[in-house]
Amino acid sequence: MMNIQKLPLLNLCILSLCAGALPAAAASPASAPPRAVPPLRQFKDSVRVAVAQMTLKAEALKPGEDTVDALIPWMKRAAGEKADLLVFPEYLLGDFYLPDRLTDKLCREAKRHDLNVIVGGWERLPGTVLQHPPEPGTYANTVLVVAREGKIAGKHRKMHAAVGASSPYFWPPEPGERGENTMVLGAENGLVELDFGRVGLLTCYDGYFFESFQMPSLRGAEVLVWVNSRGGMVEPHIIQAASFITCTHVVAANSSHGCGSAICSYPGWKLDAVAPVLGSEALITATLNLAQLRTQRLNNRMFHQRRPEAYQTLVERWEPWKAYPQLKPFAYPSPAAAAH
């Protein structure tokens, strides 16, 4: 066994460097000091939430009307239910610039109905031309948050593109596919402070990446709002698991092409309200206890026992599919083969 007491000082320094005993030049993100979430600027003990499961039909718009006109009856119903927050599905607002006549009208209607409103649409980037199909990189799938004072309080751009609808695996994108495949992707979840507390946002396919629920919760979101517009049911097991893992209330909205709009409360991870009938329009409501949630988040053991240094695998790029070189990945038929 080496007797380090008899080694020259220079050798001891070399051993220390090899063993990593001296401080590193720069700390890794996982070993950096914890980031404190800023205190809430405004909050209430509860929030009454309404979710509109509906679909915008172009033929239903009368001459001179726009997409906001189709949302107004739902705002009126939500106001009648004494809601603080009304959540609409993805896409409903259609094309818009920030700001423009459409978003100004949305803000006015939110103020008139005394509602915080969340709704999705296609944001066109400044300086771009409105055309169909849009040029790649000129648009984003964006969720707007309008505060009841009539101002845009924040937004979220969808972070993961839903592509490959003709594949049984929804991958890869179809040759030449545009749509979400060529849109501008968001860099992180929208996080918005409203008069009752903090809201975190995610859009449709974002919810299949569980980090999309965890990140806004860690940054202080108390209510996670997951907007969708898809066939089938928004998966209740994802909603409930997200509530449990993130220590948040979770609100999910879907269009009436599908179903599964839901309001899930923490603790208990139960669906306080749900619209389970495929193809049906519905307005669901529930009151969420924020005072109790904050006590839970203050003392949540999973927050206190997180170990970011153990999760570095998550932020590395991996290619798990390369474990199967003996298998052939799905490929679309060639145009010639498809013609026959």
Q: Count the alpha carbons within 13 Å of 236 in the hemisphere toward its beta carbon.
A: 14
pLDDT band per the 50, 70, 90 thresholds, residue 106:
very high
**Over pLDDT 70: what percentage of the chain?**
89
pLDDT band per the 50, 70, 90 thresholds, residue 291:
very high
Question: Do 278 and 259 contact (CB within 8 A), yes or no?
Answer: yes
**pLDDT, position 335:** 77
**pLDDT, position 338:** 63
**pLDDT, position 60:** 64
| Residue 18 predicted with pLDDT over 50 | no
CA distance to 55, 56, 64, 122, per residue, from 59 (Å): 12, 9, 12, 19
Nearest-angstrom CA–CA distance, 143 and 328:
38
pLDDT band per the 50, 70, 90 thresholds, residue 63:
confident
**pLDDT, position 62:** 73
pLDDT tens sequence across 145-199: 999 999 999 999 999 999 999 999 999 999 999 999 999 999 999 999 999 999 9
> Pick the residue with more confidence: 215 or 5?
215
| Residue 29 predicted with pLDDT over 90 | no
| Residue 6 predicted with pLDDT over 50 | no
Question: Do 204 and 228 contact (CB within 8 A), yes or no?
Answer: yes
| Average pLDDT of the residues in 81-110 | 97
| Average pLDDT of the residues in 81-85 | 98
Determine, yes or no, domain membership for 312: no
Determine, yes or no, domain membership for 309: no
Closest to 182 (Cα-Cα) out of 141, 137, 142: 137
| Average pLDDT of the residues in 208-232 | 98
287: domain CATH number is 3.60.110.10
Determine, yes or no, domain membership for 37: no
Determine, yes or no, domain membership for 297: yes
Question: Do 144 and 95 contact (CB within 8 A), yes or no?
Answer: no
Number of domains the chain is built from: 1
**pLDDT, position 334:** 86
**pLDDT, position 57:** 80
Determine, yes or no, domain membership for 84: yes
**Over pLDDT 90: what percentage of the chain?**
84
Q: Three-state DSSP class for 53?
A: strand
pLDDT band per the 50, 70, 90 thresholds, residue 248:
very high
Q: What is the DSSP string of 153-197?
A: EEEEE-SS----TTSTTS-SPPTT--GGGGSPPPSS--EEE-SS-
Determine, yes or no, domain membership for 13: no
pLDDT band per the 50, 70, 90 thresholds, residue 22:
very low
Determine, yes or no, domain membership for 82: yes
| Average pLDDT of the residues in 260-272 | 96
| Average pLDDT of the residues in 102-127 | 97
**pLDDT, position 336:** 65
The domain of 172 spans 47-304
pLDDT band per the 50, 70, 90 thresholds, residue 340:
low
Handedness of CA 120, 125, 130, 131 (dihedral sign): negative
pLDDT band per the 50, 70, 90 thresholds, residue 32:
confident
Mean pLDDT across the chain, nearest whole number?
91
Query: Which are the contacts of 146, defined by CB distance < 8 A and separation ≥ 6?
Result: 106, 107, 110, 116, 117, 118, 119, 152, 153
Q: What is the pTM of this model?
A: 0.90
In this structure, what are the phi and psi dihedrals at residue 144, rounded to the nearest 5 degrees? -100, 145
Determine, yes or no, domain membership for 14: no
